[in-house]
Structure 1
Amino acid sequence: MAKKNAFYAQSGGVTAVINASACGVIETARQHKKEIGKVYAGRNGIIGALTEDLIDTSKESKKAIAALRHTPSGAFGSCRYKLKSLEENRREYERLIEVFEAHNIGYFFYNGGGDSADTCLKVSQLAEKMGYPIQAIHVPKTVDNDLPITDTCPGFGSVAKYIATSVREASFDVASMAKTSTKVFVIEVMGRHAGWIAAAGGLASDADIDLPIVILFPEVTFDRKKFMATVAAKVKKYGYVSVVVSEGVKGDDGKFLADQGLKDAFGHSQLGGVAPVVANMIREDLGLKYHWAVADYLQRAARHIASKTDVDQAYALGKAAVEAALAGKNSVMPAIIRTNDSPYRWKIEDAPLKKVANKEKMMPKSFISRDGFGITPKCRAYLEPLIQGEDFPPFTKGGLPNYVQLKNEPVAKKLNTAFELK
């Protein structure tokens, strides 16, 4: 029997290190040519599989694949597309089977967050329900850091390092202008339901550098009066304050402060714009001069200041995914297991996808200070190891990061039928 090919795809919001996982998958697969044929990548995630739009990664040089380790974003294109259940949309699964059979694909590696884990779980069930043998392994990724079981999610450590650094640098800026100008700086960060990224802003202040920082977590209901009193107290003591606000902050009515009334492809509320909302409240209630910023894509694309811990883990999980498949495993996700805080030590263990898909890991209450506006020493002990080390990309003669753009040559189509997404 001919050796099977592998399918790899990226899903959801990309990160500074998702390509490091891709590098881990492809380089490891290339080291096992006796067991794995070619690695095909889906152009724009699972959509590439459904539309038979596959990329032949064997056309890329060893140097180009290695450069993925220091290149941000998704090299093969990502998507927000969630497969429905087999009962709801059988045509999608039949199409996947058709494409996998046509291209002799026996390994499925899906690199993404919670919704991607759900997709991977559903694909893993194809063997049982539709009689096609395929091993589906989920490669964790999400800046939100909200996947269960794993100690951290690749992408988060680098976002945390970027936000902590940015809040520290911006705080120094505001401090220098506070006497006659800006008193409040508001920065909006990602985090729909879990405040992990917002918490990272708290790292900006420590025992050596004391900075006034107020954090608005999605886990804590926004109390306008209490928040204003805290801001006013910080400004009175320090002369200024920096506010880190998660996009997922809700009021006592249960609604997102930044809810635009729109939905994304997964049916989630389209968020964004909470920074100006909070800043205007401060102007109305306290009359203080302010500036605000939205980190948006900058926080998840900042490969130039990526955490070495994050890069190493992203690559290791891509490698572990292939090794799990070669060991005959199916419907699992390699997860980071913390074995020690200081020094930080970790290992990889397989987690069943049934315990990962559609589950969110929230910030523990013990990580949020009693007043609801800061982080605890326990939270700091968790976060600090994740932002350790630098893994700078190479720079061009022109002074910019030297990232790789793959050729992404298509695989010749073998099917006569097209597939329209619904």
Structure 2
Amino acid sequence: MPKNAFYAQSGGVTAVINATACGVIETARAHPQEIGTVYAGAHGILGALQEELIDTAEESAETIAALRHTPAGAFGSARYKLKGLEENRAQYERLIEVFRAHDIGYFFYNGGGDSQDTAHKVSRLGEHLGYPITCIGIPKTVDNDLPGTDSCPGFGSVAKYIAVATREAGLDVASMARTSTKVFILETMGRHAGWIAAASALAREEEGDPPHVILLPEVPFEQQRFLERVRASVERFGYCVVVVSEGVRTADGGFLSDQGSRDAFGHVQLGGVAPVVAAMVKEGLGYKYHYAIADYLQRAARHIASATDVEQAYAMGRAAVELALAGRNAVMPTIVRESDEPYRWRVGEAALEDVANVEASMPAEYIDDSGFFVTEACLRYLRPLIAGEDYPPYVNGLPAYARLRRRLVEKRLPAFEA
């Protein structure tokens, strides 16, 4: 009998993470002699710990195909970090117990650096406990900060959303600037890497077009230099559009938007840097301003997803299954860029131990000398990632997304408190 598979979504979701799920499930279904049922974790890894396994065999082929154009996490995701093997071995042993109880031989974990670390630890522990489990990490993060891969599924669609929003909001501000708002500030996600904010630069076609200032985590924030840049833009163009990453830091390393709390992964809780920057503009320059915080809107915007991103997200899911069937373990499929123009890429492979808990920032050569914009090399990197449209079907004027049955299999083990 073929072994079953377990698939889980982890961390913040994206516009295309379900396209990866679609790739995993459809590819597994094409190999019934090698893989039995694909179970999905209800709310990520919690589904395995609490033995809440969604039976994807209960979903029709049409529903699974519709995942490709459905945003967010169809099976539920979670910000839940498993501690180290020495700190909490019981949780890892519980995973192996659940896998054993449901004859699961394949573990596909779709997430960022923390998730790749978990998949790596499970692969080691399964072998140690006498229940070998094939563990394949699948890249996903809007922050685009996983090493070993040219880009991360989820980023291209966020980048497209932010570039479009910057262009459209910029036109709005320009049209009203003489008698109304002079400064518009758009806050993006991006804890340690400024990729999302940098993507706003794609909105600029000619000199004077927005964005006029991009604030990146890689460049220490200096208030006076920033205000001088804003003043110069208003005096020259009549207005200023600022795009700021939530992870912008001061020279001493402190976050401008530190809320004083931490998330489930132990990361400083960020958000709300736009009003902080807006207050500086008001107090330092006296300009009328508006600000917007893209927040979940940027990562949920499947209606304007990048076709490149959708294709790559699906390909990573398919490749994960193919790697498992080829006997690979403790690896992650990657995107390898072969050329910029024309854009060509292929599927590669990275060891989980090399990508676990590692964050990749923007390279210095992608940031211009002023620190307030990006270079042409950065734009060449970004352009193909937002290319193409992959619109979902519309019904009555709204996108029609997949709705799953989400039927759970019968539990076979005692309850476990995660």
TM tier relative to shorter chain: over 0.9
Are 1:212 and 1:234, in contact at CA under 8 Å, matched by a contact in 2? no
**What does 1:7-406 correspond to in 2, within 5 Å?**
7-207=6-206, 210-396=209-395, 398-406=396-404
Q: Once the 2 structures are TM-superposed, how far is the Cα of residue 81 of structure 1 from its aligned partner? A: 1.0
CA distance in 1, matches of 2:208, 2:37: 51
Letter in 1 for 2:45: I
Q: Once the 2 structures are TM-superposed, how far is the Cα of residue 135 of structure 1 from its aligned partner? A: 0.2
CA 1:142/1:103 → structure 2, altered by over 3 Å: closer, same or farther?
same
Letter in 2 for 1:411: V
After superposition, what is the alpha-carbon deviation per residue over 1:241-280, rounded to whole angstroms, capped at 9, x for unaligned?
1100000001123210000100000110000000000001
Are 1:212 and 1:238, in contact at CA under 8 Å, matched by a contact in 2? no
Q: With structure 2 as the length reference, what TM-score do the two structures score?
A: 0.99
Q: Once the 2 structures are TM-superposed, how far is the Cα of residue 83 of structure 1 from its aligned partner? A: 1.3
Letter in 2 for 1:311: V
In the alignment, which residue of structure 1 is the partner of 2:417?
420
CA 1:62/1:249 → structure 2, altered by over 3 Å: closer, same or farther?
same
CA distance in 2, matches of 1:334, 1:110: 12
Are 1:221 and 1:251, in contact at CA under 8 Å, matched by a contact in 2? yes
After superposition, what is the alpha-carbon deviation per residue over 1:195-235, rounded to whole angstroms, capped at 9, x for unaligned?
00010011110249833520000010000000000000001
Letter in 2 for 1:26: I
CA distance in 2, matches of 1:363, 1:218: 9
CA distance in 1, matches of 2:345, 2:312: 9
Are 1:212 and 1:240, in contact at CA under 8 Å, matched by a contact in 2? no
Letter in 1 for 2:259: Q
After superposition, what is the alpha-carbon deviation per residue over 1:352-388, rounded to whole angstroms, capped at 9, x for unaligned?
0111101111101110110000010000000001000
Q: Which consecutive unaligned segments of at least 5 residues does structure 2 have?
A: none
Q: Once the 2 structures are TM-superposed, how far is the Cα of residue 9 of structure 1 from its aligned partner? A: 0.3
- Secondary structure of the 2:399 match is coil
- Secondary structure of the 1:330 match is coil
CA distance in 1, matches of 2:212, 2:118: 39
Are 2:112 and 2:139, in contact at CA under 8 Å, matched by a contact in 1? yes
CA distance in 2, matches of 1:37, 1:215: 49
- Secondary structure of the 1:382 match is helix
Q: Once the 2 structures are TM-superposed, how far is the Cα of residue 58 of structure 1 from its aligned partner? A: 0.2
Are 2:181 and 2:288, in contact at CA under 8 Å, matched by a contact in 1? yes
Aligned residues with identical type, % of pairs = 67
Q: Which consecutive unaligned segments of at least 5 residues does structure 1 have?
A: none
Q: Once the 2 structures are TM-superposed, how far is the Cα of residue 133 of structure 1 from its aligned partner? A: 1.1
Are 2:154 and 2:299, in contact at CA under 8 Å, matched by a contact in 1? yes
CA distance in 1, matches of 2:78, 2:211: 38
After superposition, what is the alpha-carbon deviation per residue over 1:389-408, rounded to whole angstroms, capped at 9, x for unaligned?
00000000x10000111110
Aligned residues: CA RMSD: 0.9
After superposition, what is the alpha-carbon deviation per residue over 1:25-68, rounded to whole angstroms, capped at 9, x for unaligned?
00000000010000000001011000000000000000000000
Deviates more, 1:210-219 or 1:44-53: 210-219
CA distance in 1, matches of 2:185, 2:268: 22
Q: Once the 2 structures are TM-superposed, how far is the Cα of residue 127 of structure 1 from its aligned partner? A: 3.0
CA distance in 2, matches of 1:206, 1:316: 32
Q: With structure 1 as the length reference, what TM-score do the two structures score?
A: 0.98
